[in-house]
Amino acid sequence: MSASTIGAGIDRLDATVKVRGEARFAAEFPIDGMVFAALVYSTIPKGRIVSLDARAAEAAPGVVLVMTHENAPRMRPTPALLTSERANGGNDLPVLQDARIRWNGQPIAVVLAETQEEADHAATLVTVRFAGEPARTSFEGAKPKGGEVGFHMGERLRTVVGDAEARLRAAPFMVDAVYTTPGHSHNAIELHGVTVAWDGDRLRIHDASQSVTHTAWSIAQVFGLDETQVHVTSPFVGGGFGSKLLWEHQILAAAASKLAGRPVRLVLTREGVYRIVGGRALTEQRMAIGADADGAFEAIVHTGTVAMTDHNSMAEPFTLGTSAAYAARSFLLEVRTAKLDMVANTYMRGPGEAVGTFALESAIDELAHGMGLDPIELRLRNDPERHPIKGTPFSSRHFRSVYRTGAERFGWADRRAPGERREGEWLIGLGCATTAYPYVRMPGGAARITLRRDGTALVSVAAHEMGMGTATVQTQIAADLLGLPVAQVAFAYGDSTLPGLVLAAASQQTASVAAGVAAARSDLIGQLLTLAGNDSPLAGLFSDQVATMDGGLGARDDPHRFESYASILSRAAQTELSVEASAPLPDEAETWAMYSCGAMFAEARVNAVTGEVRVTRLLGSFDCGRILNAKTATSQFKGGIIMGLGLALMEDTQFDERSGRIMNPSLAEYHVPAHLDVPEIEVMWTDIPDPQAPMGARGIGEIGITGVAAAIANAVFNATGKRVRDLPITLDKLL
């Protein structure tokens, strides 16, 4: 039998080309005759353009043209994400089609020039006069006027089980508090960029994308094209986290290219990303838990309001994690929306769960402290046997194991009462929180397997590599399914012409692609047996009687009945055999409650004089099913934890409610964790396959961020005795 590499921590297959600088990202494709673009942005949150004077810009050196709403090609509104199966726009607005201003930072002109420097300079010469209108920029002011219940993935974000408010009031122990989180902006290392070129009525786009097929379809709708006329490629992406979807810049580049008759490269500046690429919306959450004398939860109330816009469909679903985390006799879960005139908010790593777990897990820590219980013990007493609301059985759940093994490894037994542990000026505390994220597999998983006579295989899927190791793990999976060494399998991805409708989101790409590859492999075996014919040692065998092994097919009950792929294809006089298939519809999550869970532990030091917080240790103990690659999994877990550290201590999109403008649009002013901020991080996992998931694996890309903010906040409380309910935890909140 061929040795399986599943679980092995093999190096990423794209590592060499990246280290050598040979990997071409979206803004690195050279095209003859290409011009460079710069954008001009609105400086008011709502109103219209009264006049726009581009004459000085047009006369500047190197300028090819200036595109505004007055000369832009006619285009249809952008199909917004989740409004149809293939839509992936950040909003549903028309791009540069009228004089209307809908947010502060909206693109209002595109300057094309022979060099980037000339384009950037000319953009500063465009003068604009606006007529402002009353804008909704105050979150407090928008709450009474808005307040509609939000939707997520077509589901209304309101769940009622029993009378939670009555049970809460009657409970002998209760916590009822408000937790807030600010807006967060995307800051992938690779700026959002695109290189586009028209060939007649066909459009070629090199994009930084986590949704190539969705982008091809959506842009086709904007320009009135057939989807086959738009070809999107995205072989390398320098980070996405929910932001590398379809925004104004791809459409503006394509429109300007059409107008100029030349290829265009448009790369957003860091400030430009803040202006037109949405991030996580701010939240205000009421979290209330009532418990009986034994700690069993009588009621869980998780309600609140999130900011969003009129022109997108993303209400930050902070209650999703709460609905499946703990058993309770009653629930009231609800997300309401306050509509603001701002850049459309969007998905960001761990949408909903990242900020929702801050409220839930902080409240559980508060409740445990009030009851005099160890916070781990309180969580274990409320570990559900089935999904708390749906009642479906868990496909696989090892909640108690991750807490017990994690606590032992972290040294939880050394935890003391709040404020008791001190070293000089530093107060030291330990905190924990539950991490959780659902298993997701969206429809659209399909794959093509091309098996060659030389014993190699090419697996092709319209999947995405954003740095998480997709190409490596999928090559491992394909090699395992085909009975081939990894070195004999190639994986093609990042191209809208390949099979599959795969979105790299919701930690679901691995399962979706694996299901598609498994379906193609099943069809491939059937076709190989047909080709083998009566002269083969496999003659008379059916698909379920053979297995892939050692570069061929063999009878399951007789290893001597074997024939290599090369032999089968040679006798059939074929150089290769190509098979394409789609995965069955994902119905496993309807029958089973499929969730990953974990325990996050944090050690925090707080300076008693200055209030400075330093996180000195983090440990994540996870139950995510089968781990497919130990090295890439470790990287994913740690990456999520580091983003959680930023969420807890520093990230804050400063939105000026007077102007509707983001005031810290740079990495100098918007702080993310740097090397010196990141402490020792340890990760561990159960590695127990989920019997209902393809390859036994549940997604791991997002669970790492969940629970981190709460674990750190709980550690800060344990160190100081002060409870911080408003993120980020800055020193002014502790002094």
Residues belonging to the active site: 702
Q: Return the residue matching tokens 């060939």.
A: 199
Backbone angles phi, psi at 504, to 5 degrees: -80, 80
Is residue 254 a contact partner of residue 73, using CB atoms and an 8 Å limit? no
Sign of CA dihedral 705, 711, 713, 719: negative
Q: How far apart are CA 499 and CA 463, in angstroms?
A: 9
Q: Which two tokens stand for residue 675?
A: 């090397």
Whole-angstrom distance, CA of residue 599 vs CA of residue 75: 49
Q: Which alpha helices (DSSP H) does 233-285 contain, by range? A: 248-260, 270-276
Segments of 348-438 assigned E as strands: 422-423, 426-438
CB atoms within 10 A of CB 261: 10
User: Whole-angstrom Cα distance, residue 324 to residue 154?
Assistant: 19
Return the number of other C-beta atoms located less than 10 Å from residue 42's C-beta. 24
Alpha-carbon torsion 496, 502, 505, 508, what sign?
Answer: negative
Residue 86 φ/ψ region, left for φ over 0, alpha for ψ in the -120 to 50 degree band, beta for the rest: alpha
The secondary structure element, H or E, covering residue 306 is strand 297-308
Q: Which residue has the tokens 């060494």?
A: 485
In this structure, which amino acid lies at residue 426?
Answer: W
Whole-angstrom distance, CA of residue 371 vs CA of residue 657: 41
**Rg of the chain on CA atoms, in Å:** 27
Residue of 382, 326, 388, 331 lying closest to 357 (CA atoms): 326
The token pair that represents 655 in the structure block: 């939105």
Look up tokens 């190791």; give the residue: 469
171 Cβ contact list (under 8 Å, min separation 6): 290, 291, 292, 298, 299
Of the candidates 419, 408, 183, 390, which has an alpha carbon nearest to the alpha carbon of residue 279? 183
Angular region, 579: left φ>0, alpha ψ -120 to 50, beta rest: beta
What does the buried/exposed string (b/e) look like for 278-301 if buried means 16 or more CB atoms within 10 Å of the residue's CB?
bbbbbbbbbbbbbbeeebbbbbbb
